[in-house]
Amino acid sequence: MTTDRRTSFRDIKSELERRIARRIWPPGATIPGEEALAAEFGVARATVNRAVQELARSGIVERKRKSGTRVALYPVREARLAIPLVRKEIEAKGAAYAYSRLSRAVVAAPDFLRARLALPDSAKVLHLRCLHLADRTPFQFEERWINLDAVPEARGEAFEEIGPNEWLVENAPFSRAEFAFRAARAGRDEAALLQVVEGEAVFVAERMTWLAGKPITFVRMVHPPGHRMVTEI
């Protein structure tokens, strides 16, 4: 990286995000101190400090006295935006949680996904279909696509014991997210999985996440009628 082209705190922030996205600094890793980064980029320490503060506010890194700055294991922004861990959401209701992976396949990104995430024609994604249950009753049908260019480690995960929701929280921090919520009618497969009548109204939540401009995942979560979503900001 040349210092004559990247001297602002925004440029330094983007470069640090890039290194985190490429796992040069994986989750939990300590990043170099401000003095070392200031020397590398040829800027004042205050400029580096502002860049790191921005990353901390985004939840990508955690800053602690004496122990330095680490790449977040559980990004703060996820808690701030209340992206739920389905297991915890169910257990908080006093119900027993169960998870089932219905299908898993590495596929070429479908047209709609390439359009939504601006993926190249050659993009490969991991397509997962999962069911989450509360006290043996269907709670959420999850259909998810993971961009393997952004999260190559997902290719080696079976997702039989742990769902992609929990796995991504631990392994794929994000810097931006987009949410959508709507009512829809259950299709045949969704109705069978959720034990509702085909065409019955269901609650649908969709989420997309990115890190350093690179799309990570798109997920569609379908809940039976009567589902109530609560968030705190």
Domain CATH for 41: 1.10.10.10
Instruction: Answer yes or no: do 96 and 140 share one domain.
Output: yes
Instruction: Answer yes or no: do 44 and 148 share one domain.
Output: no
CA dist 52 → 35, 45, 125, 182 (Å): 12, 11, 31, 36
Instruction: Answer yes or no: do 43 and 137 share one domain.
Output: no
Q: What's the confidence (pLDDT) of residue 27?
A: 87
CA–CA distance, 154 with 143 (Å, rounded to integer)? 15
Q: Which residues contact 210 (CB under 8 A, 6 or more apart)?
A: 174, 175, 176, 177, 216
In a domain, 4, yes or no: no
CA–CA distance, 10 with 118 (Å, rounded to integer)? 23
Instruction: Answer yes or no: do 60 and 87 share one domain.
Output: no
pTM beyond 0.85: no
Of 211 and 205, the structure prediction assigns the larger pLDDT to 205
Which DSSP string do the residues of 86-141 spell out, in sequence order?
Answer: HHHHHHHTTPPEEEEEEEEEEEEPPHHHHHHHT--TT-EEEEEEEEEEETTEEEEE
CA–CA distance, 199 with 149 (Å, rounded to integer)? 36
In a domain, 1, yes or no: no
Of the residues 19, 44, 73, which one is the last residue of a structural domain? 73
In a domain, 122, yes or no: yes
For residue 157, pLDDT beyond 50: yes
User: Phi/psi of residue 45, each to 5°?
Assistant: -60, -30
Average pLDDT, the chain: 89
β strands within the chain, DSSP E: 61-64, 68-71, 97-108, 124-134, 137-147, 176-185, 201-211, 214-223
Domains: count for the chain: 2
Instruction: Answer yes or no: do 89 and 177 share one domain.
Output: yes
Instruction: Answer yes or no: do 143 and 42 share one domain.
Output: no
In a domain, 229, yes or no: no
In a domain, 213, yes or no: yes
Range of 119's domain? Answer: 77-223
For residue 82, pLDDT beyond 80: no
CATH of residue 109: 3.40.1410.10
Of the residues 22, 46, 73, which one is the last residue of a structural domain? 73
In a domain, 49, yes or no: yes
Structure tokens at 70: 């680490």
Instruction: Answer yes or no: do 23 and 113 share one domain.
Output: no
In a domain, 126, yes or no: yes
Confidence of residue 232 (pLDDT cuts 50, 70, 90): low
Q: What's the confidence (pLDDT) of residue 4?
A: 47
Confidence of residue 213 (pLDDT cuts 50, 70, 90): confident
In a domain, 232, yes or no: no
